[in-house]
Amino acid sequence: MSIKELLSDCAPSRRKLAEEIGISPAALSQLLNHGTLPKRRWPEIREAMLSLAVARGKAESDMEAALKELEQQPASAPEEKAEQEEPMILRKQTLTMQARQTFGLVRNPFADPETSADVFMSPDIRFARETLYQAATGSGFLALVGESGSGKSTLKDELITRINDENLPVIIIEPYTLAMAANESQGKPLRSSHIAEAIISTVQPGAKIPSSPEMRFRRLHEILKASHTAGMRHCLIIEEAHDLHRHTLKSLKRFHELKDGLARLLSIILIGQTELEKKLRVTDASVREVVQRCDVVHLSAIADPGAYLRHRFEHAGADFNAAFSPDG
C-alpha cells in the first residue's frame, strides 16, 4: 500500500492529519500527491507519521515499506494549470474593395512585394537583408528570428530575387517543410536524411540518391565538391525552422563543416519565429555546438509605421496624403 492509502483514515481530515504530523497542509499534499519530501525536519516528520499510523492500527512493516518506497522514488512535479492569456498576435487585416474605391487604390498597397523596390527598408530591415546576403554568398550560418508577419519570408524571397538578378553563382536549396513538425505526434519532422536528399536533388537534378545513409552523405559531399570546383556556391535555407527537431538542429553543424580543402561548401540560413531562438539557447547542451556557430538576427517590429505606409502607398501608385492627414 502507498503512504497515501495508509494515512487516509488516520485523521478525520487532511488538515487534521497535517496537524497530527506537524507539517503544513500544503507540505502534506506535496508529500502524499507528488512524493515531495519536506526540505526540513524529515526524520522527525517521518517518525511522527510512523507513530500515528501504528497508533491507528496500521502494521509497522507496511508503513516502513511505504516510507522507504517514498524516499527512493523521484518527486513528480505538481500539475500546474496553464494560464489562459489573450493572444498577442493580431488577426490579418485587409482593405475592403469599398475602402480601396473610396481612396482610389487601384492596386492594393499591402499586397506582397513584386520587386525588390517594393520591399520597405528600415535600418533594422536593411541590416537583416545585408546579413542574409553575406551569409548566402559566403559561408555563413545564420538564424533570422521574428514574430509571425514580421517580414522574414519577404526578406528570404527578396534574397533569392537579388541573387538571380545579379546572376550570382549561388544555388539555393530549400527542403520542403509543408508538413514539418517538431515531433512525430504533430507531423513529420525534417531529418538530416531529408536535407541530404534536398541538397543532392537540387545541386545535381536527377542524381540517384543512395539508400545507405553512409553512401548518401558521401555522395552528397562529392556532388558539393564537384559543384564548388565548377565555381558554384550553395546555400541551404530552412523556413519554419522553429519546428526543427533538436537532433536535426544538431546535425546542421556537420552539414556546415563540409569542406573542399579550406573552403566551406554550404552556407545555412534558418528562418523561424521566436521559438527558434529558445531552441538556440546557450544553456541547452544538446545544441551547444550549433549555438556556437550560428549568428542570430532579430527582425523587430517596424519602428516608424508612417514611413512604412508612405513607402507602400507610393509603390502602389497611390496618394498617401489623400488617405492620411498630417497628424495621422
Task: Specify the residue for cell string 499534499.
Answer: 29
pLDDT score recorded for residue 84:
46
Task: Specify the residue for cell string 534574397.
Answer: 159
| Mean residue pLDDT across the chain | 85
Q: How confident is the model at residue 112 (pLDDT cuts 50, 70, 90)?
A: confident
Average pLDDT over residues 224-237: 96
Contact 218, 155 (CB under 8 A): no
Q: What percentage of the chain carries pLDDT values higher than 90? A: 38
- The Cα-based distances of 301 to 155, 268, 305 in angstroms read 14, 24, 9
Q: What percentage of the chain carries pLDDT values higher than 70? A: 90
pLDDT score recorded for residue 17:
86
Could you give the CA distance from residue 87 to residue 276 in angstroms, rounded to a whole number? 19
Task: State whether residue 73 is helix, strand or coil.
Answer: coil
Taking the model in full, what pTM does it have?
0.67
CA dihedral angle for residue 15, residue 19, residue 25, residue 29, rounded to 10 degrees: -90
pLDDT score recorded for residue 179:
57
Tell me: the pLDDT tens digits for 68-101?
888 887 655 444 444 444 445 556 667 788 888 8
pLDDT at 121 over 50: yes
Q: How confident is the model at residue 174 (pLDDT cuts 50, 70, 90)?
A: very high
